[in-house]
Amino acid sequence: MSTSKVSGKEFSQFHGYFRFIVQWDKSYFTPRNLSHVRTVLEWVSYYENLKKYEIDHKKSSGAYLWVFTIEDAKAFRMWLALSPEERKKTGIESKKTPGGTIILPPGIKLEVKNPQLPKISDQDNDILQMVISGLNAPEDMIIGKAGSYGSTKVSRGPQSDRISDEIEYLERFLRYDFWRHVFFLCSSKSNFPKTFKREEVIDFKNKKPVKKKIDREPHELLDFTFPVSEIQDLESVSRALLGVKHGNVNNTLGISHKTISKRLGIGDWDRQRRITAMEEERYPKLQIEVDQESVQERTEGEPSKKEGRVSEKKEESSVKKTNKAQDKKSSE
């Protein structure tokens, strides 16, 4: 604390403090990270151990053993009496290759045995669900494997709400906890104004807007633009806000363009309008979509039946005229 204070009148109104710390709790009720992380790590450890056991289980399933059974004691004594070179010729002690051939002496039987273990894969889904519930995210986003279409679609709504909540928390933090304090320090230490006059519509009288200049603090005039998450159903939101075969909310409800653009992820609507005005003044005008479609239909579209008949008649008449002119020249 002492390193953040100085002596003098310059910072006396702040009790001598010249360094400030902003803490972001995101909400009034801040959960402890210890219990959240501990719950997730505990079940992740269980899941990791189960996967290790499953690997050992699969290794055991792939194990095998060559079993030679000597059914006669005489044959066993004969086998012991063989020299090392003679034993190699029998192929019993040599390495077995798939598809190979081995000739056994009389009285010896060969078997290949491997353990018959039960299947244990996909038996630990409950452990995985505990991990997913602790992480508070959809299953397909955590393990990278999409489930059924219905379950994936249902999980998108809550996840979209979580993202919207995080964006709203961040915007409030930037506006009220960060920039509000920054502007306060600027106005206290310099000639930066504490408020700005802004003309706004405060009421309607005889269906006409009543305007008045209102004092607004600097942090209230800020606009923030955040990335639009692909997890959100932007198509449905756009259809509802911009209209498809029905009136949009701007014309039917009188909702401002700024609110609509914010719902679409464009927070700096005022700046975008200024850029558009500059582009319209600087660059040549573009054809509207209706004109482009009509031009494309006239140039690239197939002619109608009536137009085709008219063109055929014109061609026939022109051919007749040329034939008559040629006959006239030949008779002369």
Residue-wise pLDDT tens digits, 74-91: 878 887 888 888 877 777
Containing structural domain, residue 294: 233-300
Nearest-CA neighbor of 139 among 123, 158, 119? Answer: 158
For the ranges 131-140, 184-193, 200-209, 228-237, the lowest mean pLDDT is seen at 228-237
Collect all residues with Cβ–Cβ distance below 8 Å to 235 and sequence separation of at least 6.
Answer: none
Domain count, the chain: 1
Mean pLDDT of 195-205: 88
- Rounded Cα distance between 328 and 326, Å, is 5
Q: pLDDT tens digit string along 108-144? A: 888 888 888 887 766 677 888 788 777 777 777 777 6
Tallying the residues shown for the chain, one arrives at 332
pTM: 0.50
**Domain for residue 266, yes or no?**
yes
The pLDDT score that the predictor gives to residue 18 is 77
The tokens describing 285, both together, are 């005008």
What's at 299, amino acid-wise? T
Q: Supply the pLDDT for residue 179.
A: 92
Asked if pLDDT for residue 307 goes beyond 60, the answer is no
Q: Is residue 152 part of a domain?
A: no
Q: Which residues of 150-178 are buried (b: 16+ CB within 10 A; e: fewer)?
A: eeeeebeeebeeeeeeebeeeeebeeeee
Computed over every residue of the chain, the mean pLDDT equals 77
For 183-196, the pLDDT digits (tens) are 988 888 888 899 99
* pLDDT tens digits along 274-303: 888 888 888 888 766 555 556 666 666 665
pLDDT band (50, 70, 90) for residue 262: confident
Q: Is residue 171 part of a domain?
A: no
Looking at per-residue confidence, does 34 or 203 come out higher?
203
**Torsion sign (Cα): 220, 224, 228, 229:** negative
